[in-house]
Amino acid sequence: MAKIVQTTARAVVSYGVNPLARFLLRIGVSPNAVTVAGTVGVLIGSYFGSQGHLFWGTVIVTAFALTDVLDGTMARMRGGSGKFGALLDSSMDRIADGAVFGAVVYYLATEGNPYGGVVAALISLVFGQVVSYVKARAESLGLNADVGIAERLERLLIVGAGGLLGAAGQEWGLPAALWVLAALAVITAFQRLIHAARTEPKVPAK
C-alpha cells in the first residue's frame, strides 16, 4: 500500500512538472544544471531555516527539493541521464540532505532541544544516508533493495510539514515530524536489508 501511495504521488508530481521539463530542455537547460541548481536552492533554504525563518526555509527547501523529480523527468525525455548524471544526482542529494538536517539540528539546539528534536534529527540524518547506501550497494552487488515506506521525497515532505507547523507557532510540530521520520527511516533501512537478503541467489549445496 505504501508503495502504491508513493508511486501515485510521484506520478502526480511528474505530471505537473512535464511542461516545465519540456520548456527547459527546449531552451537548452540540461538535467545536470537543474540538479545543481536544486541543491543550491536547498542550501539557501536550509540557511533560512537554521536562522529560525521556518516558513520561508520550508517553502524554499520544498520547492527546490522537487527539482529531484524535474531533473529526472528531463533526463527521461532526453533519453536517459547517463552514468555521470546519476552519480551527480546522488551526490547532490546527499549534500542537500545533510544541509537540511544540519539546519534543523542547529535550529532546535538554539531553541533548547524541544521534545528531543535534535536526537530525532540526527537519527533521521544517519538512517536516511543508510537507506540510500543500502539500495546503491545492493544494486552494485546484484541484489534488489528497491523497497521501503519512506524514500527521500517522502522524508523531505514530512520535514516540510513539521517546519510549517513550527512556523505556525506549534513548538511540537517539527520535533514530532522528526520522530515520525526517524522511525520510518529506521524501518526503511531494515526493510531494504531484509529484502536484499531474500533476493540473494541461493548457493547450491555440494
- Least confident range from 43-47, 85-89, 150-154, 188-192: namely 150-154
Nearest to 9 by CA among 117, 147, 116, 157: 157
Q: Per the annotation, does 76 bind a ligand? A: yes
**Residue 205 predicted with pLDDT over 80:** no
Looking at residue 161, its pLDDT comes to 93
Q: What is the pLDDT of residues 102-111, one digit of tens each?
A: 999 999 999 9
Q: Which of 60, 62, 88, 93 is catalytic?
A: 93
Looking at residue 52, its pLDDT comes to 93
- Multiple choice CATH, 2-199, 1.20.1440.230, 2.60.120.650, 1.20.120.1760, 1.10.3720.10: 1.20.120.1760
Q: Per the annotation, does 34 bind a ligand? A: yes
- Residue extents of the structural domains in the chain: 2-199
Q: What is the pLDDT of residues 46-81, one digit of tens each?
A: 999 999 999 999 999 988 888 888 888 888 888 876
**Residue 114 predicted with pLDDT over 80:** yes
Contacts of 38 (CB under 8 A, 6+ apart): 64, 65, 66, 67, 68, 70, 71, 92, 96
Nearest to 46 by CA among 56, 36, 37: 56
Looking at residue 5, its pLDDT comes to 46
**Residue 27 predicted with pLDDT over 90:** yes
Q: Per the annotation, does 79 bind a ligand? A: no
Q: What share of the chain is helix, strand, coil (3-state, %, to 5)?
A: 80, 0, 20
| Residue type (1 letter), 171 | E
Q: Per the annotation, does 118 bind a ligand? A: no
Residue the block writes with cell 546527499:
94
| Residue type (1 letter), 21 | A
pLDDT confidence tier of residue 8, bands split at 50, 70 and 90: low
CA distance 176 to 182: 10
CA distance 137 to 143: 8
**Residue 15 predicted with pLDDT over 80:** no
Average pLDDT, the chain: 88
Q: Per the annotation, does 32 bind a ligand? A: yes
Q: What is the DSSP string of 7-34?
A: HHHHHHHHHHHHHHHHHHHHTT--HHHH
CA distance 51 to 117: 16
- Least confident range from 35-39, 79-83, 119-123, 158-162: namely 79-83
**Which burial class, exposed, middle or buried, applies to 10 when counting CB atoms under 10 A from its CB (0-12, 13-18, 19+)?**
middle
Looking at residue 152, its pLDDT comes to 79
Q: Per the annotation, does 93 bind a ligand? A: yes
Q: Per the annotation, does 68 bind a ligand? A: yes
Does the annotation count 97 as an active-site position?
A: no
What's the whole-number mean pLDDT along residues 36-42?
95
